[in-house]
Amino acid sequence: MNGDVTIKNISYKPEGAYVGDAIPYYENGEYFVYYLHDPRCHGEGIYAEDTTWYMVRTRDGLSYSDDKIILPLGDEGSQNKNSYTGSVIKGNDGLYYAFFTGFNDEIRIDGKAIQSVMMARGSAPDSLDVVKDFRFIADNDIYEVYDWRDPYVFYNEEEGLYWMLLCAREKGSGYHRGGCIALCKSPDLISWSYERPFYTPNMYITMECPEVFRMEGRWYLVFSTFSDRFMTHYRVSDSLQGPWRIVGEDTLDCRCDYAIKTAGTESSRLAFGWISTKKGGNDFGPWEWGGTLVAHSITADKATGRLLVHPVDALTDLYSDRIEPGKDLLVNASCKDGCLSSDGMGALLFDGVRCDDFALSARIRSDAAEFGFFIGTDEKLENGYQIRFLNGLVAIDRWPRIPKGGEGIYQWQIKGDVPFAAECLRFIGSGDGLWDVRIFRCGEILFVYVNDEVVLSTRAYDFQEGLMGAYVVSGKIDIERFDCLAQKR
């Protein structure tokens, strides 16, 4: 891309800090996105210390403004030494209430630190004061006192009561599968009763960041787990009383976009999460806690109840300048009238596209064993990112998969074919053989959207330059559309 163009990022990171869990609140077309502000100031490998709430505003899920602190750090002896995830609601009295998790490792019961629900209140979404005498802990009867966090508060019109859902554990339950979503009720947002659990699937250690919302006549329950694929899951029901069903693929994104929470209307919502950074700032580093804020658009399929994930409109608008790719290169393949075929792995590659900042809109009809796309590769397909469609899956892979030396010398003899980015995998089924794919890459962030239904988001540090294009394995694909796009001037 030539000329004077200001590159607009597709994720948000505050200066000098990182984004943890998002807590979005929607009102009159604007999203107030509170988030856990992690300065990472306690040394390598220490996260979520000196963490509190900041807030940014957005109307489109792409442009963020007015970053400011909302909940200041508590002192060394206070329960809210750290402020963690919660929710915001406008009460029937016209005031705004933030319920959040207060944590201080020095406040313990039987030698173990506890988590408490705390409250802030104010006359505007960006002006909230901590209510110092409000502290709500687990009852130690129905629920254990040690996991009691991430309160999500909403008004249940049928009952005329406020409901609070929490990440909790049933008292006396097993460790690995005793996680539940607790339920508490209140007439006034001040006094709360303990009720039997809202959801107990007997599947997880805990279910973090729970929320419920209504779309297209159904209720949706969203929660995140670190003990099962480290993902954000959802369930569907016709009623708040359940039963809560799994409809197809039950996740909103892959491993790298965690603790997703949503806000919006009954017909359209935005889903906000954080894309993890990797230790050392390279693809081979382990995932870290926190990263940068991203948003996707979600709608509900009226027929099946599935949640469908799309790019936000502002992202599609941003990448709207057509790029004419440079010369094309065929690798072990033939191509005629848009039909790419190969007996093994073959590719049609292009140069002239910035692999660190571009979008690709493609429509592929396939009857091949595998097909997909390369980003930042070379003329022998030896390096680069690989978006793979095979066996009812879509995955983000890369070559090489591990660095040379050390463990890398044994990859082939012992590990065999271990996909590098197995955590960046989604189940998509076989469809009807027609795939609409939109890929967005801006710096370290990579999104892959499939059929306006599924997204894969990840951190991609490497291969900022090189060739890009489509490939096929043992068959043919018809390339009905292949548009390379740049950020509009």
- Give the model confidence (pLDDT) of 107-139 as tens digits: 888 888 889 999 999 999 999 999 989 999 999
Helical H segments across 133-189, by residue range: none
Rounded CA gap, 348 and 338, in Å?
Answer: 10
Q: Which band of pLDDT confidence, cut at 50, 70 and 90, is reported for residue 389?
A: very high
Q: Which band of pLDDT confidence, cut at 50, 70 and 90, is reported for residue 1?
A: very low
Mean pLDDT of 228-233: 88
* pLDDT tops 70 at residue 412: no
Q: Which band of pLDDT confidence, cut at 50, 70 and 90, is reported for residue 5?
A: very low
* pLDDT tops 80 at residue 312: yes
* Residue pair 226/219 in contact by the 8 Å Cβ criterion: no
Could you tell me which residue, 312 or 268, shows the higher pLDDT? 312
Could you tell me which residue, 260 or 174, shows the higher pLDDT? 260
Residues in the chain: 489
* This model's pTM is above 0.75: yes
* Residue pair 83/71 in contact by the 8 Å Cβ criterion: yes
* pLDDT tops 90 at residue 158: yes
**Under CATH, which number does the domain 323-487 receive?**
2.60.120.560
Nearest Cα residue to 33 out of 9, 58, 3, 10: 58
Question: Two tokens at 393?
Answer: 């899956």
β-partners of residue 37 are 19, 52
Residue 20, pLDDT score:
96
Q: Which band of pLDDT confidence, cut at 50, 70 and 90, is reported for residue 37?
A: very high
Question: Two tokens at 423?
Answer: 């955590």
Least confident of 74-83, 129-138, 146-155: 74-83
Is 411 in a helix, a strand, or coil? Answer: helix
Domain definitions of the chain by residue range: 18-310, 323-487
Q: Which band of pLDDT confidence, cut at 50, 70 and 90, is reported for residue 338?
A: very high
Mean pLDDT of 244-254: 94
Q: Which band of pLDDT confidence, cut at 50, 70 and 90, is reported for residue 105?
A: confident
Residue 229, pLDDT score:
78
Residue 418, pLDDT score:
61
Residue 378, pLDDT score:
96
Question: Over pLDDT 90: what percentage of the chain?
Answer: 78
Q: Which band of pLDDT confidence, cut at 50, 70 and 90, is reported for residue 2?
A: very low
* Residue pair 53/69 in contact by the 8 Å Cβ criterion: yes
Q: Kindly report, residue by residue over 368-382, the tens digit of the pLDDT.
A: 999 999 999 999 999
* Residue pair 228/208 in contact by the 8 Å Cβ criterion: no
* Residue pair 46/40 in contact by the 8 Å Cβ criterion: yes
Q: Which band of pLDDT confidence, cut at 50, 70 and 90, is reported for residue 414?
A: low
* DSSP 8-state symbol, 413: I
Mean pLDDT of 283-304: 94
Q: Which band of pLDDT confidence, cut at 50, 70 and 90, is reported for residue 362?
A: very high
Q: Which band of pLDDT confidence, cut at 50, 70 and 90, is reported for residue 416?
A: low
Highest mean predicted confidence (pLDDT) among 105-119, 378-392, 414-428: 378-392
Rounded CA gap, 182 and 399, in Å?
Answer: 44
Question: Over pLDDT 70: what percentage of the chain?
Answer: 94
Is 358 in a helix, a strand, or coil? Answer: strand
Kind and range of the H or E run holding 315 = helix 313-318
Residue 4, pLDDT score:
43
Classify domain 18-310 at the CATH superfamily level.
Glycosyl hydrolase domain; family 43 (2.115.10.20)
Rounded CA gap, 106 and 116, in Å?
Answer: 13
Q: Which band of pLDDT confidence, cut at 50, 70 and 90, is reported for residue 415?
A: low
Residue with tokens 């906000």: 272
Question: Two tokens at 479?
Answer: 């390339």
Mean pLDDT of 10-25: 96
Q: Which band of pLDDT confidence, cut at 50, 70 and 90, is reported for residue 17?
A: very high
Side-chain half-sphere of 89: how many Cα atoms within 13 Å? 20
Q: Which band of pLDDT confidence, cut at 50, 70 and 90, is reported for residue 75?
A: confident
Residue 44, pLDDT score:
79
Nearest Cα residue to 151 out of 140, 141, 137: 137
